[in-house]
């Protein structure tokens, strides 16, 4: 009896949409453009990702960023606001109401300002690494 050893199929299927470099895909996502082609809009609303790119038909809606963008936004916002808060407190020790009046709105504006670009960058990363949801019916 002749035994044939099974070998898995290691070929990688190519995508129908353009596949730029990782840095290019993340950069396009950061500016709110399709990570694949860079020509169409990535978002349909403030944070709602378009289902497909109008130009290259990349399945943007299948890149489910979920909890990563808020986590990265909190991380970056904290690294910006906390050192400023400590510096202002050490320089003159202003009253708590003044610190709150300055840093609560600052934190809110920084977080809201960073959330959309960070989500776009995350979608770009996921599309580039082909980390797409496999079940289209669940979108």
CA distances from 113 to 99, 117, 118 (A): 21, 8, 9
Q: For position 117, what pLDDT does the model report?
A: 97
Within 10 Å of residue 26's Cβ, how many Cβ atoms?
20
Q: 101 or 7, which is more confident?
A: 101
The C-alpha atoms of residue 55 and residue 19 are separated, in whole angstroms, by 14
Whole-number pLDDT of residue 41: 94
The whole-chain average pLDDT of the chain stands at 90
Residue 2 has pLDDT above 80, yes or no: no
Tell me what the mean pLDDT of segment 64-71 comes to. 92
For range 15-29, the mean pLDDT: 91
Q: Which residue has the higher pLDDT, 128 or 134?
A: 128
Structure tokens at 11: 């070929």
Of 12-21, 50-59, 100-109, which gets the smallest average pLDDT? 12-21
Q: What is the DSSP letter of 15?
A: P
């Amino acid at each position: 009896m002749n035994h044939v050893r099974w070998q898995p199929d290691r070929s990688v299927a190519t995508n129908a949409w353009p596949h730029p470099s990782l840095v290019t895909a993340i950069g396009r996502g950061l500016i709110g453009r399709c990570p694949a082609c860079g020509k169409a809009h990535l978002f349909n609303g403030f944070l709602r990702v378009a289902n497909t790119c109008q130009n290259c038909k990349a399945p943007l809606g299948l890149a489910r960023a979920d909890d990563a963008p808020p986590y990265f936004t909190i991380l970056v916002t904290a690294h910006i606001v906390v050192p400023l808060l400590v510096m202002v407190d050490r320089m003159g020790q202003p009253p708590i109401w003044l610190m709150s009046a300055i840093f609560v709105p600052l934190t809110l504006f920084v977080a809201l300002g960073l959330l959309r670009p960070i989500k776009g960058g995350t979608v770009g990363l996921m599309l580039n690494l082909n980390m797409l949801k496999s079940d289209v019916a669940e979108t």
